[in-house]
Amino acid sequence: MPLPLQAEALDISFKPTGAVIVFLMMASFLAIGYLFRVADTEGMWVAGRGIGFIENGMAIAANWMSAASYLGLAGLIALAGFYGLAFVIGWTTGYFVLLIFLAAQMRRFGKYTAPDFVGDRFNSPTARAIAAFTTLLIAYVYSVGQASGMGLVGQYVFGLDFVPMVIVMMAITVGYLALSGMLGATKGMAVQYVILIVAFLVGVFAVGWYHQGMVLPQIQYGAMISDLGNQFSEPFVNAPFYVWIATAFSLIFGTCGLPHVLVRFYTVENERTARWSTVSGLFFIMLLYWSAPAMAALGVDLFAADAGISASQVFAGAEAGGMSGAEGDVIVVLAAQLAQLPQWLVGFVAAGAMAAAIATTAGLFITASSAVAHDIYTELINPDATQRQQVLLGRATIVGIGALVTLTALDPPALIGELVALAFSLAAIVLFPMFFLGLWWENTNRQGALSGMTVGLVVWIAAVVNDLIMPFSELYGELVPAIGAALVGTPLVFAVTIIVSLATSDPPEHIKKMVRQCHSPEPMGQQQTAEDVVSTDGGQTPADD
Amino acid sequence: MTENNSHEPADDAVVDTDGGTVTGAAQHHRDTDYLNREVNLLKPSTPFMRDHLKLVWGSFAVWVLATWGPVVATFLAPSTMTSLTILGFPAHYFMVALFAPTSSLVLAAIYARRRDKLDEKYGINTTAPTGTASGSGEKAATDGGVNE
């Protein structure tokens, strides 16, 4: 893929207003983090318990809204038409599955990270290490999408070329991480959500109004669809039915397996709040997902008008004067620009995108560093690791993964949304079956989990290698496309885990009790984990298996 | 284990505490030792689990239809789905872009509401902070913290 080029219309130059808005936004996140940090040291439990379902829903949504939602989604719908809607379905409806099967039970289990859950539930350091490795891979793949988004939007605000822009933005991210990591700004996420959604919605409403006089573009864009050419709406022209289903399936179950999503459920006061915050979180997410297709439709229309081509020519490819992948990826900002919105308003929309990308990347890097320093190094390689060594290794991980992400993002192998979707298919294949079976089938044992996760990793890596790096089998590529690998992979991992668990001995009694405790309707303490309850409530002495 | 009344031996006293609202279900709940009942997705072992799984599977079935129905219908009958219009949209586009995701949101709210009702039916109080690890001294701190 050639280096991303921008449309003439996206005026690439340094914009003082835009830059100021970006820095104000980042600074406000840091300030909020600082303020809440004070509250935290005064009484950690108080703050911890004060998080209600509205606020936690906003935090879930803020965590969720990365460059992939903010930029990538509209880009996919603009470029891939009906296939793009698979991403709308995949990134929203999965929350329902998460709600009925996992949210409250995870809250009751009461651990902190995905590797923690896997390691404790299956009583195995190796399982923990595989989960940590998977978490690391997810963070890496996910971040590449964010970095590429930052680079593209950064061009509009700071006016550098794509390559130096990615480097500068990643440097800013690591710097931001150093600051926000010290502040531990979890509570600021609600505010972050409000800023992001306002930036996005203001963009959609303003573009709809300026361009077409629309009052509610989320509904009114429907009337434009017939004018946008077949490719925008005709089903299954850009991707066959199977790929559509596979993609949506991967995204839905990936949602249920993403480590940084599940973590949000531990911060709430009880499992009822966990349930209701899933509901409110989904609502807050929907505000953007109702709007992104409208932005895509408006963007395609504006692009065609600006380039003086018919709407269907937009899809003819960049060589034929149509929209390029990079242009699609910034369609949200591009549309604002093409609709002749005032420059500060476009800058505000762009700043929202960068804030989304930077905040998400920072979160992912922290997850990755703890996976390496805590779950892999300390638990597996050197149990006697000192705090100092762990912190050092954590920092080294951030720098290392930052460099790796930057390098990969310089020449991104796919669209932002597609890159992020790879992380989802990985989570859906390797982690979701462990969460689901771990919580719902008490006889899932260590051997089952280990073989299941190994098979899952192999399926996913093979799919990615085949799709993006070195194609080796057409048939495999058709059945297991990297982006939708979970449709085949997840059931396979379920089967392997169940068969191996049945063939080997049952897990020890205290593990089974832990699972039962996750489903008991009996209220439990704020700070208790299922493990605590089991060990204090006459649970048998932990057996050594 | 927790601070509710499950270990009270005298049944009458329990009924009084709840103002006489204890139902058969709630009584069942009090008599159940959840740590010794198997968790099985297909074969619930307690009355609570049976009721909960009915809700889970019921709403899951609706979710499958609402989420996957529109796209499958579009695949099976493309010309019908693309020629009909809903609110100005081609029907297939409307059903997939707006109806399916929104139905998940509605279903989620219905599930959470029903699940609350289930807690009520079984006499489970989820609002009061319970548990031994967080003592009652901290309860006062909670309110103070929120008000500030």
Compare all CA atoms of chain A with the CA of B141 and give the residue at the minimum distance: A46
Kindly indicate the confidence band of residue A26, based on its pLDDT and cuts at 50, 70 and 90.
Answer: confident
A279 at interface of B, judged by CB pairs closer than 8 A: yes
Nearest to A442 among B39, B67, B75 (CB): B39
Kindly indicate the confidence band of residue B31, based on its pLDDT and cuts at 50, 70 and 90.
Answer: confident
End-to-end, the C-alpha distance of chain B in Å comes to 32
Segment A320-337 mean pLDDT = 83
Taking alpha carbons only, the member of A167, A148, A202, A218 closest to residue A21 is A202
Kindly indicate the confidence band of residue B133, based on its pLDDT and cuts at 50, 70 and 90.
Answer: very low
Shortest distance, CA B21 to any CA of chain A (angstroms): 18
| Chain B residues with CB-CB distance to A526 below 8 A | 129, 131, 133-134
Assign 3-class secondary structure to A144-206. Answer: HHHHHHHHHHHHHHHCCCHHHHHHHHHHHHHHHHHHHHHHCCCCCHHHHHHHHHHHHHHHHHH
When scoring B56, B89, B122 by the number of chain A Cβ atoms within 10 A, the one with the most, hence best to mutate, is B89
Q: What distance in Å separates the CA atoms of residue A104 and residue A93, rounded to the nearest whole number?
A: 17
- For residues A451 and A215, the answer to whether their CB atoms sit within 8 Å is no
More confident of the two residues A76 and A190: A76
Q: What distance in Å separates the CA atoms of residue A463 and residue A302, rounded to the nearest whole number?
A: 37
Q: What distance in Å separates the CA atoms of residue A123 and residue A544, rounded to the nearest whole number?
A: 9
Kindly indicate the confidence band of residue B19, based on its pLDDT and cuts at 50, 70 and 90.
Answer: very low
Q: What is the share, in percent, of chain A residues with pLDDT greater than 70?
A: 90
CB pairs under 8 A between A and B: 208
Q: What is the CA radius of gyration of chain A?
A: 23
Taking alpha carbons only, the member of A282, A259, A286 closest to residue A100 is A282
Element (H, E) at A89: helix A85-90
Q: What distance in Å separates the CA atoms of residue A395 and residue A42, rounded to the nearest whole number?
A: 27
The distance from CA A275 to its chain's CA centroid, rounded to whole angstroms, is 20
Compare all CA atoms of chain A with the CA of B48 and give the residue at the minimum distance: A521
Contact B93 A534 (CB under 8 A): no
Indicate whether A136 pLDDT > 50. yes
Kindly indicate the confidence band of residue A526, based on its pLDDT and cuts at 50, 70 and 90.
Answer: low
Nearest to A46 among B35, B108, B145 (CB): B145
Compare all CA atoms of chain B with the CA of A442 and give the residue at the minimum distance: B39
The distance from CA A527 to its chain's CA centroid, rounded to whole angstroms, is 27
For residue range B48-95, what is the model confidence (pLDDT) as tens digits? 889 999 999 999 999 999 999 999 999 999 888 888 889 889 999 999
**What does the mean pLDDT of chain B come to?**
74
| Chain B residues with CB-CB distance to A510 below 8 A | none
Compare all CA atoms of chain B with the CA of A283 and give the residue at the minimum distance: B105
Name every residue whose Cβ is closer than 8 Å to that of residue A470 and which is 6 or more positions away in sequence. none
For residue A112, what are its two tokens?
């902190």
Element (H, E) at B85: strand B85-86
pLDDT attached to residue A112: 66
Nearest to A92 among B92, B104, B138 (CB): B104
pLDDT attached to residue A180: 67
Concatenate the DSSP letters of all residues of A293-335 into one string: HHHHHHHHHHHHHHHT--GGGGGG-GGGTS--HHHHHTHHHHH
Contact A235 B81 (CB under 8 A): yes
| Chain B residues with CB-CB distance to A290 below 8 A | 98, 101-102
For residue B89, the 8-state DSSP code is E
Q: What distance in Å separates the CA atoms of residue A410 and residue A412, rounded to the nearest whole number?
A: 6
Nearest to B109 among A279, A524, A533 (CB): A279
Q: What distance in Å separates the CA atoms of residue A410 and residue A406, rounded to the nearest whole number?
A: 6
pLDDT attached to residue A203: 93
Instruction: Rank A226-230, A358-362, B88-92 by mean pLDDT and report only the highest.
Output: B88-92
A494 at interface of B, judged by CB pairs closer than 8 A: no
Concatenate the DSSP letters of all residues of A324-373 into one string: -HHHHHTHHHHHHHHTT--HHHHHHHHHHHHHHHHHHHHHHHHHHHHIII
SS3 B20: coil
The ipTM value here is 0.88
Compare all CA atoms of chain A with the CA of B103 and give the residue at the minimum distance: A93
Indicate whether B147 pLDDT > 50. no
Shortest distance, CA B105 to any CA of chain A (angstroms): 6
Q: Residue type for A99, please?
A: L
Indicate whether A4 pLDDT > 90. no
Nearest to B35 among A97, A269, A516 (CB): A516
When scoring A277, A279, A440, A444 by the number of chain B Cβ atoms within 10 A, the one with the most, hence best to mutate, is A279
Q: Which of residues 350-389 of A touch B (CB under 8 A)?
A: none
Q: What distance in Å separates the CA atoms of residue B23 and residue A399, rounded to the nearest whole number?
A: 60
Q: Which of residues 73-112 of A touch B (CB under 8 A)?
A: 82, 85-86, 88-89, 92-93, 95-97, 99-101
A527 at interface of B, judged by CB pairs closer than 8 A: yes
Q: Is the pTM of this model over 0.90?
A: no
| Chain B residues with CB-CB distance to A289 below 8 A | 101
Segment B34-53 mean pLDDT = 83
Name every residue whose Cβ is closer than 8 Å to that of residue B7 and which is 6 or more positions away in sequence. none
Contact A235 B74 (CB under 8 A): yes
Q: Cβ of A231: how many Cβ atoms within 10 Å? A: 20
For residue B94, what are its two tokens?
């409307």
Q: Which residue has the tokens 């991980």?
A: A397
For residue range A40-89, what is the model confidence (pLDDT) as tens digits? 444 443 344 456 788 888 888 887 888 888 888 998 898 888 999 999 99
The distance from CA A377 to its chain's CA centroid, rounded to whole angstroms, is 25
More confident of the two residues A450 and A264: A450
- Per the document, the length of chain B is 148
Measured at the alpha carbon of residue A128, what is the angle toward residues A124 and A130, in degrees to the nearest 5?
Answer: 115
For residue range A405-442, what is the model confidence (pLDDT) as tens digits? 999 988 887 788 788 889 999 999 999 999 999 999 99
Indicate whether A197 pLDDT > 50. yes
Compare all CA atoms of chain B with the CA of A48 and give the residue at the minimum distance: B142
When scoring A270, A502, A516 by the number of chain B Cβ atoms within 10 A, the one with the most, hence best to mutate, is A516
The distance from CA B36 to its chain's CA centroid, rounded to whole angstroms, is 22
Shortest distance, CA A197 to any CA of chain B (angstroms): 18
Taking alpha carbons only, the member of A356, A341, A333, A18 closest to residue A159 is A18
Q: Which residue has the tokens 């500030």?
A: B148
Compare all CA atoms of chain B with the CA of A282 and give the residue at the minimum distance: B105
pLDDT attached to residue A452: 96
Point out which residues pair with B85 in neighbouring strands.
B90
Indicate whether B11 pLDDT > 50. no
Q: What is the share, in percent, of chain A residues with pLDDT greater than 90?
A: 30
Name every residue whose Cβ is closer than 8 Å to that of residue A268 and which is 6 or more positions away in sequence. A51, A52, A53, A56, A107, A274, A277
Q: What are the angstrom distances between the C-alpha of A435 and each of A246, A277, A451, B106?
A: 21, 19, 15, 25
For residue B41, the 8-state DSSP code is S
Name every residue whose Cβ is closer than 8 Å to that of residue B144 and which is 6 or more positions away in sequence. A46
Shortest distance, CA A522 to any CA of chain B (angstroms): 7
Compare all CA atoms of chain A with the CA of B98 and give the residue at the minimum distance: A290
For residue range A237-266, what is the model confidence (pLDDT) as tens digits? 888 999 999 999 999 999 998 887 777 776
**What does the mean pLDDT of chain A come to?**
84
Q: Which of residues 225-264 of A touch B (CB under 8 A)?
A: 225-226, 233-236, 241, 244-245, 248, 252
Contact A517 B35 (CB under 8 A): yes
Q: Which of residues 46-75 of A touch B (CB under 8 A)?
A: 46-47, 49-50
More confident of the two residues A8 and A365: A365
Indicate whether A320 pLDDT > 70. yes
Shortest distance, CA A531 to any CA of chain B (angstroms): 12
Q: Cβ of A114: how many Cβ atoms within 10 Å? A: 30
pLDDT attached to residue A43: 41
| Chain A residues with CB-CB distance to B116 below 8 A | 272
pLDDT attached to residue A541: 41
Contact B96 A85 (CB under 8 A): yes
- For residues A221 and B97, the answer to whether their CB atoms sit within 8 Å is no
CA dihedral B115, B117, B121, B124 (to 10 degrees): 70
